[in-house]
Amino acid sequence: MTHPQVRVDPDLPEFLWDSDGVEAAPPPARRPAKARDGHTPGEAGLWIFILGDMTLFAAILIVFLWERRSDPVVFEESAHQLIQPIGAANTLVLVLSSYLVVRAVVAHRAGRYPRARRLVAAAVSCAAVFAGLKAFEYYSAISSGHTPSSGTFFTFYFVLTGLHLLHVIVGTALLLVWQAMLKRRRSWTGSQKVAEGIASYWHMVDLLWVAIFTLVYLVSAE
Amino acid sequence: MNGAVPRRVTVVFAGLVVATCVTWWLGSGSSATGSGVSLAATLTVLIASAKIYFIGRDFMELRSAPSVLRAAFNVWVGVVAVAAIALVVVPTSAHADNKRLNDGVAQNVYTIQHQAGCTTNLVLNPQLQLAAQWHTDDVLNNRSLDDDLGSDGSTPQDRANAVGFHGKVAETVAINPALAISGIELINQWYYNPDYLAIMRDCANTLIGVWSADSLDRTVVVAVYGQPA
Amino acid sequence: MLTNRILVLCAWAGPATVVVAMIGWLIAGVLPVPLGSESSVEAVVSFYSHDTRVIAGLVISTIGVSLVFPLIAVIAVFMVRMEGRTPILAFLQLITGAATGVCLLLPLLLMTTIAFRPDRSPELTMTLNDIAWLLFITPIAPFIIQNVAIGVAILNDKRQTLPRWVGYVNFWIAFSFIPDPLAFFFHSGPFAWRGIFIFWLALTTYSVFLVVMGLTLRKAIRESADLDVSAVAAAAA
């Protein structure tokens, strides 16, 4: 592919010709811009990831509930081994962090950078609290002898919460990226997609935990 | 834009906190049995689904998103909620697992009979099974019972007659203070009980009904042996 | 021009991998129901006893999985265009992509070797089968790094050489491989090597990767060929 304005260098293979200096050409209109009513938070492609991720978790949760049917009593007993208050606390912590993220988006939108930074920092602290509580929970479960191979319930418990914890870690990293953008006082127009995308990802982390807490901690124990 | 958070968002946040506490309270109210469990579980799932719906609508700002996206998200919530409720509420065929145990017991009794020299057959009888089931549930729920006598003073013969079986019956009962009992443990218990062994070996008992049930710390298995009237 | 034709062929190699490998596996009997960690010794020995069919099918499948190499190459070409002078992600994709091809190839060749002598001692057959399957299912790192590299490059590309949603799909695919090492821990159930969240999930998402990348690259090649034509025409005018 040759851009007319690329500096041709006969000694280098074509793919290394300097294209850095080229002003980013406006992306070719891939399809006619459909007048969609509504604003997609972040961008459309991100939602493929988010919905895909949610579907994966949903599949694991559904299989979990299916497996529960062959042994509801054992599942109930195992669920009672979990420390429900920690699960509940973690739910509240993530819900709070989501709320802070919403407020941070609003603040960023309005150009109030110090406030946005404080809010994002607070959300990151919530994530740290979540991780700390989770570490304690894992430690307590394992030292009581419950490992991922202690039966179907605990297999699913560790896999679900483990995958979720990975999401929390990735989400926290993304929040820190956003924080860096805020420190540089990047304008909303330049950062809207990224900030909203990161916020949406974080809300997904929150809602996945609600699902896990509900089905693994509460419903199984009922 | 003045950077003020819409009140709606704060209301949703408060609602999420309250909903979390409500579901936690629902979930920790343990020892509900039967339909109480299903109701609590359904309620919990519904409240959680509402929470997720509002997180999507107001936190993720999907309320102002293209309808396709909103629809996709809501479909996810709906499908997961319905599937969860269905999987939790539809009665589990715990009986299926017990069926294996029950069938195994009948099979073992047949073996013991034939080891003792019987040449007769042993057939599962639904009436005897019902009589066994009555007594099983009775013994499971009444801890003072530990043998043939029912809480209403009935004997195995009384119960068989009540079910419509008028032949001579005998009964063996196993109570295990645990979550389950294995077929081997069970047969051993009965084998080393001289009275029970005599019952099992009696070639005249050509009909049998077996039932078992368990709770967290009590398993009950009842076998009723019958001779045709 | 010839380069373009080669690029197009390489792009088509993506979907072709899926088709050829699946055909091979269907013939060999690996699909629709593969051997599982919970399969009995008799089941495993009996599977490999149909040696001619198994060998033929597996050989076809090895050709199939080798078709990922052309796809990896054309992905690399486009990633270089996205990155410019320092195409580190393109190189990363190239290296890890090559590794993924080997990770797919060797276990299948091992399975073919098992079928080479059907009268082997059953313990040996079981052991070799375990090795083949675990080697096939568990090495997630090259795949994950490859997908993440592609995703990052696409999202960082200001010229939108490839559609942005493809980047996100790559992230999702990378994520779907994460549970696979659990196959080492479970001998049955949804997290064993034949489990739904291990073999079936990875098979599905990797196939999605091959088809999506193949088709979007095909489209991008066609579009850039058009641009070339118009640039040449403009220069000639």
- For the residues of B92-137, what is the DSSP string, one character each? P-HHHHHHHHHHHHHHHHHHHHHHTT--S--EE-HHHHHHHHHHHH
> Exposed, middle or buried by CB within 10 Å (0-12, 13-18, 19+), for C191?
buried
pLDDT in tens, C183-205: 998 888 889 999 999 999 999 99
Question: Residue A147: pLDDT band by 50, 70, 90 thresholds?
Answer: confident
Residues C166 and C210: beta-carbon distance below 8 Å: no
User: Cα–chain-centroid distance for residue C221?
Assistant: 21
Residue A130 has pLDDT above 90, yes or no: yes
Clarify whether residues B143 and B31 are in a common domain: no
Tell me the three state secondary structure of residue B142: coil
Q: What is the CA radius of gyration of chain C?
A: 20
Q: Please tell me the distance in Å from B87's CA to the nearest CA on chain A.
A: 6
Which subunits sit against B, judged by 3+ Cβ pairs under 8 A? Answer: A
- Chain C positions touching A2 (Cβ under 8 A) are 228, 231
Write down the pLDDT at residue C218.
95
Is the residue at B2 inside a domain?
no
Q: Which positions 122-151 of B are in contact with A (Cβ < 8 Å)?
A: none
> Is B111 part of the contact surface with chain A (CB cutoff 8 Å)?
no
pLDDT in tens, A2-56: 444 556 666 666 666 655 444 444 445 444 445 457 788 888 889 999 999 999 9
pLDDT in tens, C114-146: 999 988 899 999 999 999 999 999 999 999 999
Residues B203 and B118: beta-carbon distance below 8 Å: yes
* DSSP label of B174: E
Alpha-carbon distance C24 to A48, whole Å?
Answer: 31
Chosen domain end from B61, B89, B117: B89
Is the residue at B36 inside a domain?
yes
Write down the pLDDT at residue A21.
43
Among A214, A215, A220, the strongest candidate for a mutation testing the B interface, having the largest count of B CBs within 10 A, is A214
- Chain C positions touching A151 (Cβ under 8 A) are none
Clarify whether residues B79 and B110 are in a common domain: no
Clarify whether residues B112 and B85 are in a common domain: no
Clarify whether residues B218 and B109 are in a common domain: yes
Residues making up chain C, counted from first to last: 237
Alpha-carbon distance C1 to B225, whole Å?
Answer: 88
* DSSP label of A7: B
- For the residues of C80-117, what is the DSSP string, one character each? HHHHTT--HHHHHHHHHHHHHHHHHHHHHHHHHHHTT-
Q: Please tell me the distance in Å from B190's CA to the nearest CA on chain A.
A: 26
Residues making up chain B, counted from first to last: 229
pTM of the model: 0.74
> Is B43 part of the contact surface with chain A (CB cutoff 8 Å)?
no
Tokens of B210: 């077996």
Strand partners, B164: none
Alpha-carbon distance B75 to B84, whole Å?
Answer: 14
- For the residues of chain A, what is the DSSP string, one character each? ---TTSB--TTS-GGGSB-TTS--PPPP-SS-----SS--SS-HHHHHHHHHHHHHHHHHHHHHHHHHTT-HHHHHHHHHHS-HHHHHHHHHHHHHHHHHHHHHHHHHHTT-HHHHHHHHHHHHHHHHHHHHHHHHHHHHHHHTT--TTS-HHHHHHHHHHHHHHHHHHHHHHHHHHHHHHHHTT--HHHHHHHHHHHHHHHHHHHHHHHHHIIIIIIGGG-
Chosen domain end from B32, B58, B89: B89
User: Cα–chain-centroid distance for residue B223?
Assistant: 19
- Is A43 in contact with C164 (Cβ distance < 8 A)? yes
Alpha-carbon distance B51 to B59, whole Å?
Answer: 11
* Residue indicated by tokens 């997630």: C140
HSE (side-chain half, CA atoms, 13 Å) at B170: 14
* DSSP label of C158: T
Write down the pLDDT at residue C107.
96
Write down the pLDDT at residue B105.
86
Clarify whether residues B65 and B149 are in a common domain: no
Nearest of A21, A9, A11 to residue C84 by alpha carbon: A21
Residues A181 and C196: beta-carbon distance below 8 Å: no
Helices and strands of chain A, counted as H and E runs: 6, 0
Write down the pLDDT at residue C173.
96
Nearest of B149, B141, B145, B150 to residue B217 by alpha carbon: B141
Q: What is the CA radius of gyration of chain A?
A: 23
Alpha-carbon distance B174 to B158, whole Å?
Answer: 19
Nearest of C120, C118, C129 to residue C48 by alpha carbon: C118
Nearest of B180, B207, B34, B40 to residue B120 by alpha carbon: B207
Taking CB atoms and an 8 Å cut-off, how many pairs form between chains A and B?
159
Q: Give me the tens of pLDDT residue by residue for chain B, a chain 229 residues long.
A: 466 788 889 999 999 999 999 888 887 765 455 566 778 888 889 999 999 999 999 999 898 889 899 999 999 999 999 999 998 888 765 545 577 778 888 888 888 898 888 888 888 888 888 889 889 888 888 888 878 888 888 899 999 888 888 889 999 998 887 767 777 788 888 889 999 999 999 999 999 999 888 776 788 899 999 998 7
- Is B61 in contact with A55 (Cβ distance < 8 A)? no
Q: Please tell me the distance in Å from A50's CA to the nearest CA on chain C.
A: 8
**Higher-scoring residue by pLDDT: C209, A152:** C209
* DSSP label of B224: E
Residues B148 and B173: beta-carbon distance below 8 Å: yes
CATH class given for the domain over A44-221: mainly alpha
Closest CB to A215 among B28, B84, B214: B84
Closest CB to B51 among A58, A107, A210: A210
Clarify whether residues B62 and B127 are in a common domain: no
- Is C179 in contact with A163 (Cβ distance < 8 A)? yes
CB-based contacts of B175: which residues, under 8 Å, 6+ apart? B139, B146, B218, B219, B220
Is the residue at B1 inside a domain?
no
Residue % of chain A over a pLDDT of 90? 54
Among C156, C168, C176, the strongest candidate for a mutation testing the A interface, having the largest count of A CBs within 10 A, is C168
A25: left (phi over 0), alpha (psi -120 to 50) or beta: beta
Clarify whether residues B109 and B207 are in a common domain: yes
CB-based contacts of A141: which residues, under 8 Å, 6+ apart? A81, A82, A147, A154, A157
* Residue indicated by tokens 């270089």: C80
Write down the pLDDT at residue A12.
65
Residues B41 and A22: beta-carbon distance below 8 Å: no
Q: For chain A, which residues make up each domain, given as ranges?
A: 44-221
* Residue numbers of the domain that contains B126: 94-226
Chosen domain end from B89, B122, B137: B89
**Distances in Å between the alpha carbon of B138 and those of A107, B127, B173, C13?**
65, 17, 12, 68
Tokens of B132: 């066994």
- Indicate which CATH number applies to the domain containing B162: 3.40.33.10
Strand partners, B223: B172, B210
N-term to C-term CA, chain A: 63
> Is B80 part of the contact surface with chain A (CB cutoff 8 Å)?
yes
**Higher-scoring residue by pLDDT: A219, A6:** A219
Q: Give me the tens of pLDDT residue by residue for chain C, a chain 237 residues long.
A: 788 899 999 999 999 999 999 999 999 999 888 998 888 888 899 999 988 999 999 999 999 999 999 999 999 999 998 988 889 999 999 999 999 999 999 999 999 999 999 888 999 999 999 999 999 999 999 999 999 999 999 999 988 899 999 999 999 999 999 999 999 988 888 899 999 999 999 999 999 999 999 999 999 999 887 776 666 667 766
Mean pLDDT of A167-189: 91
* DSSP label of A215: I
Element (H, E) at B208: strand B207-215
- Chain B positions touching A222 (Cβ under 8 A) are 26-27, 30, 32, 37, 40-41, 44
- Is C182 in contact with A159 (Cβ distance < 8 A)? yes
Clarify whether residues B127 and B15 are in a common domain: no
Residue B185: Cβ within 10 Å count: 15
Cis previous bond, B156, omega within 30: no
